[in-house]
Amino acid sequence: MRTSNSKNLILDTAEKLFAQKGYDGASMRAIAEKAGVAQGLIHYHCKTKEQLFEMIISRRSSEINRDRYHLLKKAFEDAKEGLPTIEDVLFTFIRPALEKGQNNWRRYYTSILGFISHSDDKRSRYLIDKYYNPIAKEYIKALKKIMPDVDGAEIYWGYFYATGVAVYSMARTGRIKELSDGKLDEENMEEKIERIVKFVAGGLRSLK
Amino acid sequence: MRTSNSKNLILDTAEKLFAQKGYDGASMRAIAEKAGVAQGLIHYHCKTKEQLFEMIISRRSSEINRDRYHLLKKAFEDAKEGLPTIEDVLFTFIRPALEKGQNNWRRYYTSILGFISHSDDKRSRYLIDKYYNPIAKEYIKALKKIMPDVDGAEIYWGYFYATGVAVYSMARTGRIKELSDGKLDEENMEEKIERIVKFVAGGLRSLK
DNA sequence: GTCTATAGTTCGATAGAC
DNA sequence: GTCTATCGAACTATAGAC
């Protein structure tokens, strides 16, 4: 085949390992071993560890944010009689990030996103700025449009909180099981998306 | 003095560095250098890196959760005519974690908490289980009491989201400035606490 | 494209002087 | 309590055979 699938194998393996151990905790050696390839091959495909990491962010965020942009535009077009609801807009934000794909890469990727969202180092800020600030500004603009009665500054904080809930609710889902002494566990992803949207919409409405 | 203050200096320095670089990204050498002590001294006081990390979690969480437990009990006692409001309970949860102390260690510590809350590795799960699950169960019990009309399972998710918002809104606050093109910036901590409580209360109420 | 081998650096931890 | 010195392992990255 033209494009080697060993490159995707490396990216997938690295994504999982970065999610579990963080950037510095996942070594190139460990990634190579888990992927079943030589360490040198990673450097052949991705050059450096920094670039491998950015490749992972790049491929997933471009897919997620392309869907978000498209669904957001559609939500405004479909609501011709007026404006989309807060829930309509939030679904376009949450669903592309969390919905079930062919494998559960979103689980791992969201974990990585959690790390860099919380981090204050140069690399993380660079990646968030490059891959997430553009779409963030789109959503803030959209929220301002559909919530004209809410102070502009509050919208920024509301968006900020929404991302916190989304990211947090994907990573470490095992905690629900721990806290409920095994009575609750992972569930249908659609229910999960609906609950997040409901919660965030309620939170946004309470910001006056 | 009896207790060396070099130990606290090491803990403070390590706390800041772990917050900025994560567990594996902050090396013992870097911590020693920043603290202005020999690397060997860290091992003398803390034995291993793992134990140093746990000491940081232990000293902060015990202070925060002692305050939480006390304020939560007080909230129920003071509301003798009935029950405390959702906001009353949330304030006892948020304030001890975020309110301004003598230095801004909460900013750094909350960042560390963000890392381990998102992580799925053995160390993180051990620490969350040991230092945070007991107080989490107190709050879930309290929320069930004051929201008897809400399905029990939803309360777990609501608590989960609340911690996501709290943790996320402390770390990387510089993003608000980026997203607003410099128009917004850090603000009064009391306003911040009130906004978080307002948002989370609105979210919890919308879970039926 | 994929491998092995290895250079050069940095890591956590310990030993031992003071 | 605090330091210096150092061991052995693990790290990223590269060189070069196939």
State how far residue A4 is from chain B, nearest Cα, in angstroms: 31
Residues of A in contact with B111 (CB under 8 A): 118-120
Q: Are residues B42 and B60 in the same domain?
A: no
Q: Which amino acid is at A140?
A: I
B132-170 residue pLDDT tens? 999 999 999 999 999 999 999 999 999 999 999 999 888
User: Inter-chain contact A168–B169, Cβ cutoff 8 Å?
Assistant: no
Residues of A in contact with B180 (CB under 8 A): 153, 156
Q: Are residues B12 and B100 in the same domain?
A: no
Q: Are residues B81 and B131 in the same domain?
A: yes
Kindly tell me if the per-residue pLDDT of B1 is higher than 70: no
B46-58 residue pLDDT tens? 999 999 999 999 9
Determine if residue B181 is left, alpha or beta; phi over 0 gives left, psi from -120 to 50 gives alpha, anything else beta.
left
Q: Are residues A78 and A27 in the same domain?
A: no
**Chain A CA closest to residue B19:** A119
Kindly tell me if the per-residue pLDDT of B66 is higher than 80: yes
State residue A201's pLDDT score: 98
**Could you give the number of structural domains in chain B?**
2
Q: What CATH code is carried by the domain that includes residue A33? A: 1.10.10.60
Q: Are residues B198 and B152 in the same domain?
A: yes
Instruction: In whole angstroms, give the CA distance from residue B84 to residue B78.
Output: 8
Residues of A in contact with B157 (CB under 8 A): 169, 176, 195, 199
Contact A11/A59 with Cβ under 8 angstroms?
A: yes
In this prediction, residues B6-13 reach a mean pLDDT of 98
pLDDT mean across residues, chain A = 94
Contact B160/B143 with Cβ under 8 angstroms?
A: no
CA distances, B27 to each of A90, A180, B34, B48, B50 (Å): 40, 36, 11, 12, 12
Q: Are residues B115 and B41 in the same domain?
A: no
Q: Are residues B22 and B99 in the same domain?
A: no
Q: What is the dihedral of CA A46, A48, A54, A60, to 10 degrees?
A: 30
User: Inter-chain contact A159–B179, Cβ cutoff 8 Å?
Assistant: yes
Given pLDDT bands bounded at 50, 70 and 90, which one contains residue A98?
very high
In this prediction, residues B159-185 reach a mean pLDDT of 90
Mutation target to probe the B interface, by most B beta carbons within 10 A, among A115, A141, A154, A161 is A161
Contact B140/B51 with Cβ under 8 angstroms?
A: no
State residue B102's pLDDT score: 67
What percentage of chain B has pLDDT greater than the value 90?
Answer: 84
Instruction: In whole angstroms, give the CA distance from residue B17 to residue B37.
Output: 15
Q: List B residues 127-146 in contact with A (Cβ-Cβ < 8 A).
A: 128-129, 133, 136-137, 140
Q: What is the DSSP string of A25-70?
A: HS-HHHHHHHHTS-HHHHHHHHSSHHHHHHHHHHHHHHHHHHHHHH
Give the SS3 label for residue B102: coil
User: Inter-chain contact B165–A161, Cβ cutoff 8 Å?
Assistant: yes
Instruction: In whole angstroms, give the CA distance from residue B13 to residue B22.
Output: 13
Q: Are residues B142 and B95 in the same domain?
A: yes
Exposed e or buried b for every residue in B57-86, given b needs 16+ CB within 10 A?
A: beebbeebbeebbebbeebbeeeeeebbeb
Report the footprint of strand D: residues with C-beta closer than 7 angstroms: A 26-30, 39-40, 43, 47-50; B 3-4, 6-7, 36-41, 44-45
Q: List A residues 75-134 in contact with B (Cβ-Cβ < 8 A).
A: 111, 114-115, 117-121, 125, 128-129, 133
Given pLDDT bands bounded at 50, 70 and 90, which one contains residue A81?
confident
For B3, the domain range is 1-47
Q: Are residues A33 and A115 in the same domain?
A: no
A148-188 residue pLDDT tens? 999 999 999 999 999 999 998 888 778 899 999 999 987 78
Kindly tell me if the per-residue pLDDT of B186 is higher than 80: no
- Give the number of other CB atoms < 10 A from CB of residue B14: 26
Q: Are residues A38 and A60 in the same domain?
A: no
Q: Which amino acid is at A164?
A: G
Q: List B residues 144-183 in contact with A (Cβ-Cβ < 8 A).
A: 153-154, 156-161, 163-165, 167-169, 171-172, 174-176, 178-180
Q: Which of B174, B175, B203 is opposite residue A199, by nearest beta carbon?
A: B203
Residues of B in contact with A115 (CB under 8 A): 22, 115, 118
Cβ contacts of residue A90 below 8 Å, gap of 6+? A162, A196, A197, A200, A201
Q: Is the CB of B50 under 7 A from strand C?
A: yes
Kindly tell me if the per-residue pLDDT of A38 is higher than 90: yes
Among residues A157, A81, A153, the alpha carbon closest in space to that of B173 is found at A157
Q: Are residues B128 and B69 in the same domain?
A: yes
Instruction: In whole angstroms, give the CA distance from residue B171 to residue B16.
Output: 12
State residue A89's pLDDT score: 98
Q: Which amino acid is at B62?
A: S
User: Inter-chain contact A118–B111, Cβ cutoff 8 Å?
Assistant: yes
Q: Is the pTM of this model over 0.85?
A: yes
Q: Are residues B86 and B156 in the same domain?
A: yes
Residues of B in contact with A118 (CB under 8 A): 111, 114-115, 118, 167-168, 171-172
CA distances, B143 to each of A33, A182, B68, B69, B91 (Å): 46, 19, 14, 14, 13
Contact B201/A193 with Cβ under 8 angstroms?
A: no
3-state helix, strand, coil in chain B (%, to 5): 75, 0, 25
- Give the number of other CB atoms < 10 A from CB of residue B130: 13
More confident position, A32 or A169 = A32
